[in-house]
Amino acid sequence: SEAAELLGLVPYMEGMRMITVVELVAPTSDENVTVTDTELSSVPVRLYLPRRAPGGLRRAVLFFHGGGWCLGDAGMQGYDLISRRISNELNAVVVSVNYRLAPAHHFPVQFEDVYSVSKFFLQSKVLSQYGVDPARVCVAGDSAGGNLAAAVAQQLSEDPEVKTKLKAQVLIYPALQALDMDLPSYRDNADKPLLSRSLMVRFWSEYFTSEPALREAMASNRHIPAEAGPLLQFVDWGRWLPAEMRGAHRYSRPAAGGSALARRYPGLLDPRASPLLASEARLRRLPPALVLTCEHDVLRDDGAMYAARLRAAGVPVTHHHASDGFHGALTFLAWPLDLALGHRLLNTCVDWLRDNL
């Protein structure tokens, strides 16, 4: 994709998006689950409805796919298999959301799409239509989708128009902050597949703008203005990161940049984009969480810090850390990318939902 962009053949993200197209599968129903592509609140979703008799009201999972807010689709084979299995094994309605993507759409469009679907689905009449128990609804997502799930959970907890409260949240190697691009995990895994530091910086910057100046500032970790200093306490990995993840690294605050970028792109300092920036009072209202992190992943420390902050706020948290895991592993569920690791991580999520949703 980089070579094609340099040669002027195709923009970078369009080249990357070809991976998505190759992975797409049709919405195919089977003996256990009815699968359809439809819309909720004018946003495309892939809907999974269990076929067996409910035996009472069902669980529901609102799922947001990963892909750096730029790539991905609910119809990719990995996401289809995840949603199908959750629906079948937990007798749950699964709504997998196809939110709009960057670079055509920047923050907060992606958040607004998933929030609109979530708020619509949580209406009593809609829950009733699908036979869903209003006390057993969860948000979940991986990577950028984990970011969106965390942000949606925070916003729902404060929305006076939403009467139904989430029962749980599942955050799978989530991206949770755009303030510090020099965490130990960014250093340790800068060049590891499938998500290098440079690609994550590209995803974050494209979420806000296609202007190269922001990407360059983020790459040097000089994109946050001095006046944002008070927010750094929320992403202080010297405080929030377990000692075994800090390793031999020593904490230093990111160097302050100018104010121009933050003024042009206020999403940089918005908790809807960086849920780790939420105050403790806001975190206190959140539902129980499963936070899944992988050792060989630049986003490892985002999830670990969020788990620590949630615990400090009194939220029940299960932090599952895969010491042999890498970013994106959960979707490696079918040939030619069928890994035992992917199935193990999915088992962890399904088992937790079975016990907590």
Q: Could you tell me if 15 and 5 are in contact, meaning their C-beta atoms sit under 8 angstroms apart?
A: yes
Which residues does residue 334 pair with via DSSP β-bridges, in sequence order? 337
143 is catalytic: yes
User: Can you read off the two tokens belonging to residue 306?
Assistant: 């969020």
Angle among Cα 315, 58, 99 to the nearest 5 degrees reads: 70
Which residues does residue 61 pair with via DSSP β-bridges, in sequence order? 94, 138
Angle among Cα 315, 317, 322 to the nearest 5 degrees reads: 160
Measured CA distances, 240 to 131, 206, 298, 311 (Å): 41, 27, 16, 11
The β-bridge relationship of strands 317-326 and 333-334 is unpaired
297 is catalytic: yes
Kindly name the residue from 182, 297, 301, 302 that is annotated as catalytic: 297
Which amino acid, 185? S
- Helical H segments across 102-183, by residue range: 109-121, 124-129, 144-158
- Residue 345 burial (CB count, 10 A): 25
Kindly name the residue from 83, 96, 143, 274 that is annotated as catalytic: 143
Q: Could you tell me if 75 and 46 are in contact, meaning their C-beta atoms sit under 8 angstroms apart?
A: yes
Q: Could you tell me if 136 and 357 are in contact, meaning their C-beta atoms sit under 8 angstroms apart?
A: yes
Catalytic positions, written as ranges: 143, 297, 327
